Amino acid sequence: MNKEGILREINNDVVNTSYYPARSDCCDLDGEIFEDVVLDNIKCHRMTFQNCTFRNVQFIDNQVDLIEFENCQFINTVFKGTLENLYLIISDSSFSKCTMHDLKISGYEEQSEITDCTFEECTFSDINLLADLTLQGGTVTNCTGNNLECIMNMIFAVQFTKSKFENINLNVAIIKNTFQQVEVSNIQNIDIGGEPVRRNNTFKDCYINGELQNQ
């Protein structure tokens, strides 16, 4: 399936993908630009994007078994809906002024990874993440998050700067991360099989549940 196969124009500049390929079909795209489009209700076994740009794009309620983004750029892009039993791989990609809202992701059959990505001025709200997922490397800068439930594998070696998060329920190992001018309020650990690991993290001018952290 190529780019034209997943896009169908419905009115003016809005594109809706009411495309229903067999579950065995795949979409492998390289160097494509998606702009001012809605990608929704895609049913596909695998979607792989390399060196692609997404500007003013909405991803809504797609049914995909495996999604991979490599060296992609997302600007003013919205992610919303439910993705079940998902195998997710995102690497070396950037997210600027993007919104993840009312988003539910689940998947424990494969080890999903988000590695060496940058998130800048992004908003995360009403997210339910229940997956064998590792967030490793990269940066999170000037971002906000609210109403987040994250039961995942690990957050490792990520640099968080000038960001604010509130109303968070977590069960995740947090190791070797750097937090600078980060404010976190009403954060609670979810007890599933014992206390999650927290070690070798660095805090500078951070407030965690109202307490100043410098260590």
pTM of the model: 0.86
Q: What is 134-150 written as a DSSP string? A: EEESSEEES-EEEEEEE
CB contact set of 37 (below 8 Å; sequence gap of 6+): 7, 14, 15, 56, 57, 58
- pLDDT for the residue 213: 87
Share of the chain above pLDDT 70, in %: 86
pLDDT in tens, 86-114: 899 999 999 999 999 999 999 887 789 99
* Of 114, 201, 209, residue with least CA distance to 160: 201
How does DSSP classify residue 158?
-
- pLDDT for the residue 107: 86
Angle at 164 between CA 162 and CA 170, to 5 degrees: 125
- pLDDT for the residue 109: 76
- pLDDT for the residue 133: 94
CB contact set of 155 (below 8 Å; sequence gap of 6+): 134, 135, 136, 172, 173, 174, 175, 177
- pLDDT for the residue 25: 62
- The per-residue pLDDT string of the chain (215 residues; one tens digit each, 9 = 90 and over) reads 555 555 543 233 333 333 333 343 677 889 999 999 888 877 778 889 999 999 999 988 777 888 999 999 999 999 999 888 889 999 999 999 999 999 999 988 778 999 999 999 999 999 999 999 999 999 999 999 999 999 999 999 999 999 999 999 989 999 999 999 999 999 887 665 566 788 999 999 999 988 888 88
